Structure 1
Amino acid sequence: MIGPSFRWLWTASGLSNIGDGIAVVGVSLIAVTLTRSPLLVSLISAAATLPWLLLALHAGAIVDRHDRRRIMVVASWSRAGVLAVLAATAWLGALSLPVLLAGALLIGVAEVFSDTSAQSVLPMAVPRDRLDGANGRLIAVQTLGNNFLGGPLAGVLIALGSAAVLGTPALLYAMAGLALLGMRGRFRVETPSTRSLRADITEGLRYLCGHRVLRSLAAFSGVLNFANAAYFAVFVLWVVGEESRVGLPPGGYGILMAALAAGAVTGSLVAGRLARCAGQVRTLLTADLVNSLLLLVPVLIPTPVAIGVTAALLGATNAVSNVILVSLRQRLIPEDLLGRVNSGYRLIGMGASPLGAAAGGVLGSYAGLPTVFCAAAALCVIAVALVSRPVSTRSVAAAEAESQRDLTPHLV
């Protein structure tokens, strides 16, 4: 199943996601040293995800026109450059919250192009009937890098200073770009569009809006991401520092992220088997319902042990859901539309994240952090209940059968 191109993609993903883990946790820890305001801390998450709202559609159209691997290389090196500048700024003692926000925004721009390309390039590297296994391995290494390695490393590096926290992921992103150069094969659609970007974007949106299953899943992802962004934008204030409810030191937050990663790696590797045994729709909805209810545990039992166990379960259920959702999209969307339809989907899904992060900061400032956590959990449970009707085993099976019929002329 694993060809050379996939191995290089897998290696690059591992390197860049270790960088992601260090950057995400490290920037949050740096922000907490600059301010204790829930609103200001939440702006870091909002800035990092805002490009999804602004650029997702254009990124999808560009990905469907150009070499997807090359876009990923440029994005990796761009993130390396931004972080290197931030590290130099920190080393000179000039790092401030506005500079950190600007850096998070620029890194977010590169992430939009990198992630859109990565999800669109995978079906070019592995057969479509093996996407569950490939996505499981990718999400496993992504989570391992993000949380199991990157999170704890951020906790260690913060003791060395902000320059170390920002400079280390810069090096990892640069190495990931080099690894991607090892991929061989065709990573551009055979007949890219020559129409205007607006026409291409419209075509992708029309396909998404006209597809009942994809449309429903996009709305579902948007609600879940909104709620989770609100939750985790201020979560660090609940668990880290002497003023927090839990009182973890910065290094303890990295260990908490490692617990989340351990669960996520397990969930990623068993997601395909669970989907085959219990059905992909039933597995998806069950995982998301359990994940939603787990969000209440840090409020009800604010102890390090309880939150650590919860983090592992959150990671596992979230990974199972992600593997199924990504694989399903890759099977349902035609190759020449993957970038555009995926970007429209993620505009709704990821575009909700900066709005949720900002909402979490505002609500936390005026109503308190427990209100944010309880509201997020309730919203997720409602979303699972609502999506269970349009997204059923029968509707998904019919959509997959229709997708296979659409592919037949290209395979003959």
Structure 2
Amino acid sequence: MGRSFGYLWWSTGASNLADGVLKIGAPLLAVSMTRSPALVSLVAAAGTLPWLALALHAGALADRADRRRIMVAANLARTAVLAATALGACLGLLNLWLLVAAVLLAGVCEVFADLTAQSVLPMTVAREDLTKANGRVSTAQMIGNDFVGAPVAGLLVVALPAAVFGAPALLYAAAALLLLGMRGAYRPAAPAGGRRPLRREIAEALRYLWSHRILRSLAITAGLLNMANSAYFAVFVLWAVGDESRMGLEPGQYGLMTTAFAAGAVLGSLLSARVCALFGEVRTLLGAWLATSLLLLAPVAVPSAWVLYPTAVLWGMTGAAGNVLVISTRQRLIPAELLGRVNSAYRLMGMGGMPLGAALGGLAAEAAGIGVVLTGATVVCLAAVALVWRALSDRISGTLTSEPTLSDISRSR
């Protein structure tokens, strides 16, 4: 798929390995500092809050500036933040509030890096290769985030807490250097009428998303799913890790759970195109979201590592397949000149509820117990899937081979 895609792919792998170490290492460090669900959930909320505050502006910037340079700058900024935090940890200054601040600032950089990455990918591969390319990118993300990053984080938390920040800092620096190997122009063409005020361009993207029946339905459902999952996993570490937990896992064992998740996700990413060819995009997406939601009940009903690990594999398979399909669909449906802004509007709806979900999950767990939060989050996920199922119900009929794709649906909206 070309040299530039290769550099983008390797950079994605490096940055997501860093994400994996930080994503698992930060909550584990928080658990070592406090057993309060509300305080532990602050770490998850801090990591996702920037999506709510900055997604629209990050998307608008991706439609105005050189997308490769934005990603380089975001990775270098993450390097600086985490290197400073690692130094603080070495000096014995690390506490819960410094941890939350580091995760928050890294999350700010993540918004600009991730949104721009989804907009730059269609500039590096042919349109017909988008699903395959997204599958490979998703595979790199899962290997870095969960298959390698998670168990490494579990070991680092015990052996050298400062490395939970120092190792990601080095990896983000490597990701920035790899992006410099990409050749070509990555600045979007200016509109025929010239640039308009930023507020008007953002408003245009919001109107486009809301008027597009399929994208609107997917965005609302993704928002509900992410909010519920954020509440679920913000406190799940307390359900799984420690002598006072229901499962009694060690930090390293918790890291293995995300490794199992990654193994399934790699398989789901690689098979997503074939499954869509067999069952159609609509059926595949709805089935993946429904299965992921139902699987959330397994470790609640049977709090055992023997149930958790195979469940995590299935979480990865279904979640990754749905994610690859949704990203590829957005890249096909959204006009090139609107891609950054509409992607950001979608991600705002899809991820904006995550900090709220994490905070509510922590507060609800304090008041009603962790098990109630895990079960309630599952119910919300099932309700969200029912919502999008109803929105697409008139498009599911027909044989498996003749079912219309989401692209066909959008033209008939």
Letter in 1 for 2:327: V
Q: What is the correspondence of 1:279-298 to structure 2 with a 5 Å cutoff?
A: 279-298=280-299
Q: Give the 5 Å matches for 1:294-333.
A: 294-333=295-334
Matched, 1:120 2:119: yes
Amino acid in structure 1 at the alignment position of 2:195: T
Distance 2:260 2:404 in 1: 35
TM-score, normalised to structure 2, is 0.95
C-alpha contact 1:333 1:403 (8 A) present in aligned 2: no
Deviation of the 1:165 alpha carbon: 1.4
Deviation string for 1:170-211 (max 9, x for gaps)?
100000000011111221111155211101101110110110
Contact preservation (8 Å) 2:219, 2:347 = yes
Aligned to 2:148: 149
State the match for 1:408 in structure 2. Answer: none
Q: Which residue of 2 aligns with 1:261?
A: 262
**Rounded Cα–Cα distance in structure 2 between residues aligned with 1:184 and 1:220:** 37
Q: Per-residue displacement from partner, 1:45-66 (whole Å, max 9, x unpaired)? A: 1011001000111111111000
Q: CA deviation at 1:403?
A: 7.1
One-letter amino acid of the counterpart of residue 67, structure 1:
D
Aligned mates of 1:175, 1:153 — CA distance in 2:
18
Deviations 1:76-97 (A, max 9, x none): 1111111101100100000111
1:210 maps to what in 2? 211
Give RMSD over aligned pairs. 1.6
Identify if the C-alpha distance between structure 1 residues 128 and 391 changes in structure 2 by more than 3 Å, giving closer, same or farther.
Answer: farther
Tell me how far 1:98 sits from its aligned partner: 1.0
Determine the structure 2 residue equivalent to 1:4: 3
Offset at 1:7?
Answer: 0.5
- The percentage of counterpart residues that share the same residue type is 56
Counterpart residue number, 2:168: 169
Residues 1:63 and 2:55 aligned together: no
Tell me if 1:108 matches 2:107. yes
The answer on 1:158 being equivalent to 2:157 is yes
Instruction: Name the SS of the counterpart of 1:191 in structure 2.
Output: coil
Contact 2:280 2:405 in 1 (8 A): no
> What is the Cα deviation at residue 158 of structure 1?
1.6
Offset at 1:159? 2.4
2: distance between equivalents of 1:233 and 1:204? 31
1:121 Cα deviation after fit: 0.6
Q: Which amino acid aligns with 2:190?
A: T
Letter of the 1:382 counterpart: A
Alignment partner, residue 270 of structure 1: 271
* Post-superposition offset of 1:352: 0.9
Is the contact made by 1:262 and 1:312 (CA closer than 8 Å) also made in structure 2?
A: yes
Shift, 1:402, TM fit: 8.3
Moved over 6 A (4+): 402-405
The one-letter amino acid of 1:400's match is S
- How far is 1:166 from its partner? 1.1
TM-fit CA distance, 1:391: 2.9
8 Å Cα contact 1:279/1:393 also seen in 2: no
8 Å Cα contact 1:217/1:391 also seen in 2: no
Residues 135 and 399 (structure 1), Cα distance of their counterparts in 2 relative to 1, 3 Å cut:
closer
Aligned residues: 404
Give 1:410's aligned residue.
none
1:394, CA displacement in angstroms? Answer: 3.7
Trace 1:352-391 onto structure 2 (pairs within 5 A).
Answer: 352-391=353-392
Cα offset, 1:6, TM superposition: 0.6
- Counterparts of 1:219-238 in structure 2, within 5 Å, are 219-238=220-239
Query: Structure 1 residue 160: deviation in Å?
Result: 2.2
Relative distance call for 1:398 and 1:173 in structure 2 (3 A) is: closer
Measure the CA separation in 1 of the matches of 2:275 and 2:405. 21
Deviates more, 1:99-108 or 1:185-194: 185-194
CA contact (8 A) 1:271 1:323 kept: yes
Q: Which runs of 5+ in 2 are unaligned?
A: 397-402
Task: Determine if contact 1:25/1:151 at 8 Å carries over to the other structure.
Answer: yes
Q: Check whether the contact 1:282–1:393 (CA below 8 A) recurs between aligned residues.
A: no
- Contact 2:288-2:321 within 8 A present in 1 as well: yes
Q: TM-score, normalised by structure 1?
A: 0.95
1:29-108 maps to which residues of 2 (within 5 A)? 29-108=28-107
Kindly provide the CA deviation profile for residues 257-295 of structure 1, in whole angstroms up to 9, marking residues without a partner as x.
100100011001001110111001101100111110100
Q: Extract unaligned runs of 5+ from structure 1.
A: 406-412
CA distance in 2, matches of 1:371, 1:271: 33
In 1, Cα distance between equivalents of 2:45 and 2:67: 26
Retained in 1: the 8 A contact 2:217–2:391? yes
Mapped pair 1:13 → 2:12: yes
2 CA distance for matches of 1:324 and 1:387?
A: 15
Q: Do residues 26 (structure 1) and 33 (structure 2) align?
A: no
| Superposed CA offset, 1:229-275 (max 9, x none) | 00000111011111111001111111111001000110010011101
- Aligned position for 1:186: 185
- Shift, 1:392, TM fit: 5.1
How far off is 1:155 after superposition? 1.2
